[in-house]
Amino acid sequence: MTSRRSFVGSVLGSAALAALGGRAAGAQQAGRGTPRRHILVLDVIETMLDIKALEPHFARAFGDGRVLQEWFSNLLLYANVSTVAGPYADFATLAGAVLDMTAAAHGKTLAADDRTRILQGTLSLPAHPDVRDGLQRLKNAGFRMVTLTNSAPNSVAQQLKNAALTDFFERAFSVDAVKKYKPAPEPYQYVARELGVATSDLRMIAAHAWDVHGAMRAGCAATFIARPGHALFPPGPKPDIVVSDLRVAADRIVATEPR
């Protein structure tokens, strides 16, 4: 009799476990099917602000506006050198050092006025034409938005103010807080900690493949803004949204992540 009760109990127990397992699996599937509304984290320079506004200053100083891209590419390179090999220096300090290095590579010594004009110009870059409309759509849809940039706090505050974008964001984060530049994981983790969420609750929006790569490796979702001359890194993780400008990005995000 005892053996029979044990057998029945075992069968019932197995059935109960199977039922529980089925409910758990169903809940898990339901969770996977429920869109997550992320906090949106936007990069600033090139993603929202048009650095090509500095071309006339480079044309004046170097005789060729295209030197702008050489300088900015090397600035991003040496920001990563600062993170990997040290020592850390803030972005404005690096910008000046790399500008002097660029001048030396071209056999030039920059006039003080030209140097100041370029470096101060980074604080008053205009927004790309699609940016305000895109941000407004996201704000109207109720998304929380913050920025995360390599620029120091005072610099990004001036950049956002001069581009009339400050009011779209609840906070502006800088890598200066962790002394490591994007795409190291620490800046993305820092934003998550400050907002009291996991990195998986963040969506990085950037026009730089390296920023998208770093954010996704840190656990964030990402949207890539394929500005002219920008492309994704083929071996890197693929973001779920790849678009040409912030207006299109806003439409896709609103459709993908309803209230």
d(CA 49, CA 65): 18
Predicted pLDDT of residue 259: 80
Predicted pLDDT of residue 6: 41
pLDDT digits (tens, 9 = 90+) for 185-209: 999 999 999 999 999 999 999 999 9
Please state whether beta strands 221-225 and 171-174 pair in parallel, antiparallel, or not at all (unpaired).
unpaired
C-alpha torsion sign, points 74, 88, 210, 248: negative
Predicted pLDDT of residue 27: 33
Domain boundaries, the chain: 39-50+125-256, 51-123
- Would you give the distance in Å from CA 236 to the centre of its chain? 15
Predicted pLDDT of residue 258: 83
Q: Give the CATH class of 39-50+125-256.
A: alpha beta
Beta bridge partners of 49: 45, 127
Tokens of 71: 């300088």
Residues of the chain with pLDDT below 50 are: 1-33
CATH T-level topology, domain 51-123: DNA polymerase; domain 1 (1.10.150)
Predicted pLDDT of residue 21: 36
Predicted pLDDT of residue 35: 65
Predicted pLDDT of residue 107: 96
The reported pTM is 0.86
- Would you give the distance in Å from CA 79 to the centre of its chain? 16
Ramachandran bin of 186, using left for φ above 0, alpha for ψ from -120 to 50, beta for the remaining angles: alpha
Predicted pLDDT of residue 34: 53
